[in-house]
């Protein structure tokens, strides 16, 4: 039977024209809506070919793709028209995009001009900025899901494993994504946010700049590299790349989410700055230059100003001003004046009188607002610094030192193994029945050799032999077979 004879005549209101692609669970057709004379791509899932145990989850995920992309009307996102079911087929009707996958360009090692690469990445970030604002995290950003049109513009598609903020279909503990583009938190099965998508964009940017993936190898090797190694800077692999891009890429693919760009707009600004030869903007410090100078003083000096200076007399202080340090001068002057009254040294008395005149005049000018704002600020700030700095510097360092020492000692004696399985939720234990955890899991062992057993209801029990080296992080992925 020919391919065309197997085509369904229609799906919903769409007349089927041809097959666009085919996968394990369904077929993508080109359909035509005669009512508005518009072509559409029809992505289908055949219910009858699904494994009975997985059918519910697959169909829920498929419908979620329609829900996720259906709320995203953006020029760089493939539009979804509708979701439907007919007999044993579920389908999503979406925008028919004429273009090639970015993956095709990378596979053929076709180089992009730097400005064109930045343009593509900017459009990906624009799409993600919009989707993240709508509460949708894609979770599978990769070149195969980015379509480059003849105009050079892109469309982001395939929200099949996207997480919607209001959805509970995917819980923490489920590992999803494409390994070379997955973030560390995805490998760990942790709940992800938009910063995971930005990690994936950082990997794509690295490919644009170098024609190489930053993380390659087997699944376990990729997992280990993603979680533990820092790739070589792009400018070291491609001498034509300005070094400004190195900092942008390394920040995008940082291991910890809080060390990455916190949103797509921040990533975009840094990328565009690198293109014109400027460094990325660093987050502003909480203290200004004057504050920083005062923090550099000793804690005792700062404490003395805050604790010894009495407030100025209420009658002499303007309501909107606070001048604790200024009244410290009259206080010391009174003490000197008192001692000079008992002294027989006429020179000292004259000096004291002169000092009183100078201080009195200075105090009068100060009350009249003659001193500029910066001088007043420099006097007041130590009081603020004292409250924050003194307890930390004086009291806490002994505890901190002990903690750091203890942590380093632990790091040296033990080793860590990151365990993932297909499916997830597998019990990991020793051959003697000692429970270690449930996958995905980060397990810590003393150096040595171990035999692990992996068990889950409905699957064949599997064993693995591992060797743990001190201070080393390793990755292990196991696939369990379904019991017949």
CA dist 66 and 158 (Å) reads 9
What's the CA gap between 414 and 469, in Å, rounded? Answer: 8
Rounded to whole angstroms, the Cα distance separating 105 from 401 reads 52
Residue showing tokens 């903690």: 403
Distances in whole angstroms, Cα of residue 322 to Cα of each of 30, 313, 314, 372: 74, 11, 10, 14
| Number of Cβ atoms within 10 Å of the Cβ of 227 | 19
Angle at 147 between CA 45 and CA 49, to 5 degrees: 10
Q: Are 483 and 462 in contact (CB under 8 A)?
A: no
Question: To 10 degrees, what angle do helices 264-275 and 194-210 make?
Answer: 20
The Cα 234–Cα 242 span in angstroms is: 9
The question of whether 33 is a catalytic residue gets the answer no
DSSP string, 25-69: S-EEEEEEETTTTEEEEEEEEEGGGS-TTTHHHHHHHHHHHHHHH
- Phi-psi domain of 129 (left: phi exceeds 0; alpha: psi -120 through 50; beta: other): alpha
The 3-state DSSP class for residue 275 equals helix
Three-state SS at 464 = strand
Determine which one of 104, 140, 165, 246 is catalytic.
140
Q: How many Å apart are CA 365 and CA 37, to the nearest integer?
A: 83
What CA–CA distance (Å, rounded) separates 319 from 316? 9
CA 5 – CA 416 distance, rounded (Å): 56
Picking from 90, 7, 99, the residue whose alpha carbon sits closest to that of residue 50 is: 90
Nearest to 302 by CA among 391, 400, 397, 375: 391
Token pair 């995290």 is found at 137
Percent helix, strand and coil across the chain, each to the nearest 5? 45, 20, 35
Active site residues: 140
């Amino acid at each position: 039977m020919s391919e065309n004879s197997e085509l369904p005549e229609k799906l919903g209101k769409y007349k089927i024209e041809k097959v666009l692609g085919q996968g394990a669970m369904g077929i993508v057709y080109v359909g035509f809506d005669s009512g508005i004379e518009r072509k559409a791509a029809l992505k289908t899932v055949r219910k009858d070919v699904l494994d009975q145990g997985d059918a519910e989850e697959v169909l829920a995920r498929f419908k979620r793709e329609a829900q996720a992309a259906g709320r995203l009307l953006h020029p760089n996102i493939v539009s979804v028209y509708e979701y439907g079911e007919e007999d044993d087929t579920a389908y999503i009707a979406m925008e028919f995009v004429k273009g090639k996958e970015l993956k095709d360009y990378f596979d053929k090692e076709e180089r992009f001009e730097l400005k064109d690469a930045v343009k593509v990445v900017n459009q990906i970030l624009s799409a993600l900025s919009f989707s993240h604002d709508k509460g949708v995290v894609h979770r599978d950003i990769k070149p195969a899901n980015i379509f480059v049109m003849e105009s050079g513009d892109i469309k982001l598609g395939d929200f099949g494993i996207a997480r919607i903020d209001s959805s509970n279909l995917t819980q923490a503990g489920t590992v999803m994504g494409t390994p070379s583009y997955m973030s560390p938190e995805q490998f760990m099965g942790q709940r992800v946010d938009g910063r995971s998508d930005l990690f994936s964009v950082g990997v794509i940017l690295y490919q644009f700049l170098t024609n190489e993936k930053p993380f390659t190898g087997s699944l376990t090797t990729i997992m280990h590299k993603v979680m533990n190694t820092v790739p070589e800077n792009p400018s070291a692999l491609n001498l034509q790349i300005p070094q400004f891009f190195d900092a942008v890429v390394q920040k995008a693919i940082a291991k910890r989410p809080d060390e990455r760009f916190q949103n797509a707009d921040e990533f975009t600004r840094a990328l565009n700055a690198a293109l014109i030869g400027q460094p990325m903007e660093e987050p502003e410090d909480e203290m200004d230059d004057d504050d920083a100078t005062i923090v550099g003083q000793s804690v005792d000096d700062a404490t003395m100003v805050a604790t010894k200076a009495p407030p100025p007399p209420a009658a002499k202080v303007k309501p909107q001003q606070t001048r604790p340090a200024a009244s410290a001068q009259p206080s010391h002057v009174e003490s000197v004046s008192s001692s000079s009254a008992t002294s027989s040294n006429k020179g000292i008395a004259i000096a004291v009188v002169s000092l009183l005149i100078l201080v009195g005049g200075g105090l009068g000018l100060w009350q009249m607002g003659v001193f500029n704002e910066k001088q007043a600020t420099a006097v007041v700030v130590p009081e603020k610094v004292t409250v924050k700095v003194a307890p930390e510097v004086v009291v806490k360092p002994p505890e901190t030192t002990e903690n750091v020492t203890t942590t380093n000692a632990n790091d040296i004696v033990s080793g860590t193994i990151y365990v993932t399985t297909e499916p997830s939720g597998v019990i990991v234990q020793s051959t003697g029945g000692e429970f270690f955890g449930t996958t995905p899991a980060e397990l810590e062992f003393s150096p040595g050799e171990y035999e692990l057993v992996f068990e889950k209801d409905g699957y064949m029990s599997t064993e693995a032999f591992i060797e743990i080296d001190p201070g080393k992080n390793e990755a292990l992925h196991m696939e369990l077979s379904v019991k017949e």
